[in-house]
Structure 1
Amino acid sequence: MRILSIRIAMLAFAIFLTLAPSGVWAYSYGSADTEDMAETFKLVVSSLEQSPPDWDGALAAHKARRSEISSHFGEPVAVTLDNNFKSRKAPETIANYKAMLLMNLDRRFENTLESISDYAKAKLLLAKAKATFDTLSPYVEAQLPSTEMERLKKDFNTALDAIGNPGLFGVGKKEADEKVLKATVNQIYSKIKPFFPFAASSGTDQGSEPSGDKGTNQAEPNTIEGTKQHAPMTHENKTNSVVTLSVIGGIVIVGGAAVWWARRKGFF
């Protein structure tokens, strides 16, 4: 009887592990393969690249994300983007949205460095940095040879490795290497930063459009130290408990049905 109970429990647990989506186990910082700022960028660009440009659609996407843009990157950045929409100049608007994504890459790298002691959180934040980078990649590829692009992609693997790994019950544990992580994210950031200068509106404290060196971006620092203060990640901290409980409940029902079926078939 005891062996039978153990078998039933093992089957139910195996079914739960198989059916449970990864989100059930993840930290509550949102989906790892999506980045809200990048998704907004895609909506803005796809709207403005229509003929004629869909300014209403682009502006709606911008307004939905504006408060976060202001919170994370400063009100002058949000005001500049507001003015870009008012001027209805698609190239300038798209260019500054690219620069805003660069700021977001800096933010995610900073967050990753700040969270290096928390493996799951650091890994997720690095994934969001990668999602931001992937969105900018087509524009970077137009500026860099394929060999350098491949190097940048490998750098993300190096950064992931530098986060370390807690292992399973200590087995396979690897300590994080903050020095390597910092050097790697700075290498990625410094390589693509020159391609996305931010042209601030006159009257904002970000200054005017940089002159001379195309790579000068007055909205962002030259290095990432993991010490910059960003607004709390309130948006990522939200989870839908109803959905989570519904998923778990559904898995329990399916698992129970599978155990019942297995017993009827004589597997136990």
Structure 2
Amino acid sequence: MRMMVKTAMLFIALFLALAPAGAWAYSYGDANTEDVAETFKLVVSDLGKTPADWTGAEAAHKERREEIASHFGEEVAATLDANFRSRDADVTIANYKAILIMNLDRRFDNAIQSITDYTQAKLLLAKARATYEALVPYAEAKLSKSELDGLSADFDAALEAIGNPGLFGVGKKEADGQALQTAVNQVYGALKPLFPYAPGEAAGGAKDPDAAVQAAEPDTIDGTKEHAAMERENKTNPAITVGVIAGIVVIGGGAVFWARRKGLL
């Protein structure tokens, strides 16, 4: 009986130690990629061809249009539609860069709102950083190396600000909401003026186009803006979870077998 208890306790300890913190929540996709940024890269690549591949670029845009409308407003999506119809590559790419600024606002704002949920906040900051990385090649022509290094440091400061739950309380660090807000606004405030959004006739048809632009690109991020939830944002990925459990069972079983062979159990 004692051996069975020891075996069970060892297995549970191995299970808890080996299970990644994010295996049980928000385990969808790659944290280091952002769908909107990946679409932007496809659009830029297709429109940079000679001649420009408008069919490919527009197909990539249509894959992302519903998400753009959901998160940034129908006026923004309609403006991009008009950009594609006009076949003006420069304007289309410029507005897609502005979409990435809007996405930074979304990810940063939600990170501030999720500061009590370390796993979610960390994921949102990773998505924001992936968005930022897509803009870096264009920001390099407008900002100095020291300024870009400063923005990278701001991302590190934001990650530091969300704290750390630690392992069984060891190494726990409380989150600092004010520090997070300061760090993300330094990134957002430096980049927003570089990539302005230009509403077209579609947005101009609204009662107050300036209000539509402000809603899409606020001056500061304070964590109070409501954003449409992503379909998978609050769900786990069953395949990843099952895979993690299976791996832990195999490793844990092997460890128990080895311990028994060595007479430790």
TM-score (norm 2): 0.83
Partner of 1:178: 177
Aligned residue for 1:76? 75
1:86 aligns with 2:88: no
Task: State the match for 1:168 in structure 2.
Answer: 167
Counterpart residue number, 1:46: 45
Change beyond 3 A, Cα 1:121–1:53: same
* C-alpha distance in structure 2 between counterparts of 1:149 and 1:186, whole Å: 15
- Unpaired stretches in structure 1, ≥5 consecutive residues: 209-215
Instruction: Tell me: higher relative CO, structure 1 or 2? Use CA pairs within 8 A at least 6 residues apart.
Output: 2
State the one-letter code of the partner of 1:207.
P
What is the CA deviation profile of residues 9-37 of structure 1, one whole-angstrom value per residue up to 9, with x for unaligned ones?
7489759966x777635534543212111
Instruction: Give the Cα separation in 1 of the matches to 2:110 and 2:195.
Output: 21
Superposition CA RMSD, Å: 3.0
**Structure 1 residue 228: Cα displacement:** 0.6
| 3-state SS in 2 of match to 1:107 | helix
CA contact (8 A) 1:28 1:237 kept: no
Provide the secondary structure at the position in 2 that maps to 1:245.
helix
Q: Does 1:60 align with 2:59?
A: yes
Offset, 1:238: 4.4
Residue type matched to 2:219 in 1?
Answer: N
CA distance in 2, matches of 1:172, 1:15: 20
Gap change, CA 1:258 and 1:219, over 3 Å in 2: closer
**Equivalent of 2:241, from 218, 237, 244?**
244
1:256 shift after superposition: 4.4
Residue 108 of structure 1: how far off its partner (Å): 0.5
Given the alignment of the two structures, is residue 207 of structure 1 paired with residue 209 of structure 2, yes or no? yes
What is the CA deviation profile of residues 19-58 of structure 1, one whole-angstrom value per residue up to 9, with x for unaligned ones? x777635534543212111111111112211222222221
Q: Which has the higher helix share?
A: 2
Q: 1:115 to 1:145 in 2, by over 3 A?
A: same
Higher alpha-carbon deviation: 54-63 or 1-10: 1-10
| Partner deviation per Cα, 1:56-115 (whole Å, 9 max, x = no partner) | 221111111111100000000000111111111211111110000000001111001111
What is residue 140 of structure 1 aligned with on the other side? 139
Tell me which of 204, 223, 235 is aligned to 1:226: 223
SS of match in other structure, 1:194 = helix
CA contact 1:196–1:217 (8 Å) conserved in 2: no
For the Cα contact (< 8 Å) 1:165–1:176, is it kept in 2? Answer: yes
Distance 1:218 1:239, change over 3 A: closer
Match of residue 114 from structure 1: 113
CA 1:207/1:123 → structure 2, altered by over 3 Å: closer, same or farther?
A: same
Relative distance call for 1:170 and 1:39 in structure 2 (3 A) is same
Q: Find the counterpart in structure 2 of residue 212 from structure 1.
A: none
For 1:152 and 1:96, the matched residues in 2 are separated by: 22
Identify the residue that residue 213 of structure 1 maps to in structure 2: none
* Percent identity of paired positions between Structure 1 and Structure 2: 57
* Partner Cα distance (1:25, 1:151) in 2: 34
Q: Which amino acid aligns with 2:187?
A: I
* 1:146 positional shift: 0.4
The number of aligned residues is 258
When the two structures are superposed, what TM-score results if normalisation uses the length of structure 1? 0.82
Contact 2:164 2:172 in 1 (8 A): yes
For the structure 1 residues 228 and 16, does the alpha-carbon distance in structure 2 shift closer, same or farther, using more than 3 Å as the test? closer
Q: 1:172 to 1:37 in 2, by over 3 A?
A: same
| Pair 1:122–1:250, CA change in 2 (3 A) | closer
